[in-house]
Each structure stands twice: as C-alpha cells, then as structure tokens.
Amino acid sequence: MPAKLLPSLSFIACSVLLSWADDRPPGADRVIATVNGEDITSAQLDAVVRTQLEDMEKRARQLRQTALNKLIDNLLLEQAARKAGTDTDGYLRRNVESVEVSSAEVDQAYVQSQKQFPGVLPAEAKYRIRRTLEDNRRAAALNSLLEGLRRQAQISNQLVDDRLAALDFAAQEGPSLGDPGASVTIIEFADFECPYCQAAQPHLKRILDRWPGRVRLVFRHFPLERHASALPAARAAVCADFQGRFWPVHDRIFAAAPPLGDAALRVAASDSGLNTTEFEMCIKGEQSLERVRKDIVLGRTVGVSGTPAFYVNRQPVASAAELESAVERMLGGNR
C-alpha cells in the first residue's frame, strides 16, 4: 500500500544485533588490549558497556516489534479493503475519514480552552479546535477499526514466538518443583536480593499447593547488577543444586535478613546439609558462574529486564499477584 494512503502508519525499521556475551562461552575471558605490559580483558570491557548494549538490544527489539505491528495493521487494512470491493484509500475514507464534529462541541471546547489562544480571533481559534477534534476522532476511529480487524483475524507473530521458544528449553533444565508432566509450567527469573522476588514466594507456594501435580515451577537466575550480593547468592544456589539441595538453600537465602553477605550464604549452605568443602570450591569456581550467566543470557533473550519475571506456558505474567488467575485460566477454571 503506498505510504501516502496511510501516513499515520508509516514506520522506520531498524535491526541491531548486539550482545555483551558475544560468541564466547559463558565465563570465558580474553585479553583485548595491552598497555605497557598490563592487560585489559574482555570482561572489563563488558562491564563498562554492558548497560548501554542491553539498552540498545532492548530498543532494537522494540523497533522491530513496532515495525511488524504496523506491517500487520497495513496488511489487515488492505485485506479488508479488497473484501469490501474497494482500495485502501476508499476503505479508509468510508470508515475513518467521514467523522463529524458539531458546532456545539467546538463552542464547548473553545470555552474550556480559550485561555490557550491569547490574541487569536474566536473564529480562527474555533477553526483550529475543529481540526484538532476531527483529527482526534479520526485517530480513534482508526484504532477502533484496527482493533476489530485484529480480533477477527488469525495472526501469528513469529517474532514473539521465536523469542519465547527459548522458554521451552528453559523448562527442561534447572531446579524445579512439581510434576515434570504438569500441564502448566511457571518459569521464574529471580534475584535473591530483590525484595519483590522474596514477596513472590508465598504466591508460588500457594499455587503449587492448590494444584498439586498440575503445576510445575522452574527457577532461573537473573541477578541484577545493582544488587551487590545477588550474583554470589545465585552462585551459592547453583552450588547447592549441584549437591541436590537447591530448594532448602533457596528458601534459607530468601528468609535471611539483609544484608545478604558471604556469611549468610555459608550459614544457609551449612544449615541445608551441604558438603562445605565442595561448596567452597564450587562458589569460587567457573562452573557456578557459567550456570548463572547462561540463565542471564536466556532471560535477556526472552525479554526479561527486571525481577521477578514470570512466564506461564510461555505467556508473560506481569506480577506475582496475577500468577494464580493466569494459572487458573491455563487449567480451564478452578477444578
């Protein structure tokens, strides 16, 4: 469809492929510069540019999705026009352009906003007001028209589907609670130092208790950089998982009073019955760091930007408070 037919739906598409993790395996580091015999490593560079790159990645995803949404809307209008036996321009004139604004509406708007027109003759001010009201009404009519077309159409958004497909793999790995064959899987991305993650735990427990055998919870790590103890806590939980004691340590870490320092992590490990020698070696080793980084990369892939983040059978859920109703919908009601 020519752009002049629908200027409000014109767009600019931009694709940027960036990742602080690039193509190196998690935990790998290399020298990228040497100054008077002292090395600068890729890890140091990543730490400096990571936030900016993440912002650019997020913006690129948003641009692509916005552009795709506009392409979908354009195509829906073209299809609707063909079905109505006209072209897109004629279809829009029939359904959007023919709006009416009464003189009474203009007069009322003028009375309410005449202070915004100092020194402007009433006739000119009312002309501007009429044009604004007509434009607003056309925009509302277009939005309403597109909403109706979207509801009636069968639309597959592969951009979203491809991104969320990574959750299928995520559900197969990592510590979990519940039946592996459960019909509903909740994937939680969490930060042990995040108070909202801590507050979400009773909601998750209630859901698992309410639907035993029908709901499964999978935990993935997403420590935030602004939380100094979040990464060490995640590594401690990974080391507990290596010894088959993830959930006891998980519960003790979330129950610990802040600040969440090394001593608290070691107490959680000891109280959970871990082999402390193995735990100490693990928490300082690369394997635990690699596991956490793998979860972080996964989280970014599916669009996680903060914690806690929840996905119920691939569908994102905005908050812990909404989880129970989301699970109930997936299960087809309270049964």
In angstroms, the CA 254 to CA 192 distance is 6
Domain ranges of the chain: 3-83, 99-152, 164-330
Per-residue pLDDT tens digits for 19-75: 333 444 444 568 999 999 999 988 788 878 877 877 787 677 778 777 888 899 999
For residue 7, pLDDT beyond 90: no
Average pLDDT over residues 117-135: 90
Say if residue 2's pLDDT is above 60.
no
Tens of pLDDT along 191-222? 999 999 999 999 999 999 999 999 999 999 99
pLDDT at residue 52, rounded to an integer: 81
Q: What is the pLDDT of residue 27?
A: 41
Find out whether 193 and 223 touch, Cβ atoms under 8 Å. yes
Residue 13 clears pLDDT 80, i.e. is over it: no
* Model confidence at 11: pLDDT above 80: no
- pLDDT, greater one: 9 or 137: 137
In the prediction, which pLDDT does 185 show? 92
Q: Is 114 exposed, middle or buried, given 0-12, 13-18 or 19+ CB atoms closer than 10 A? A: middle
pTM reported for the whole predicted model: 0.56
Express each pLDDT in 225-244 by its tens digit: 889 899 999 999 999 999 99
pLDDT score at 165: 66
Mean pLDDT score across all residues of the chain:
83
Residue 180 CA to residue 192 CA, distance in Å, equals 24
Band the pLDDT of 9: cuts 50, 70, 90: very low
Specify the higher pLDDT residue, 170 or 203: 203
- Label residue 302 left, alpha or beta by phi (over 0 means left) and psi (-120 to 50 means alpha): alpha
- E strand or H helix at 218, and its extent? strand 215-221
**Domain 164-330 classified CATH 3.10.129.10?**
no
Residues of the chain above pLDDT 70, percent = 86
Q: Give the contacts of 146 (CB within 8 A, at least 6 positions apart).
A: 73, 76, 77
pLDDT at 43: 79
Q: How far is CA 73 from CA 8, 134, 199, in A?
A: 11, 22, 40
pLDDT, position 1: 39
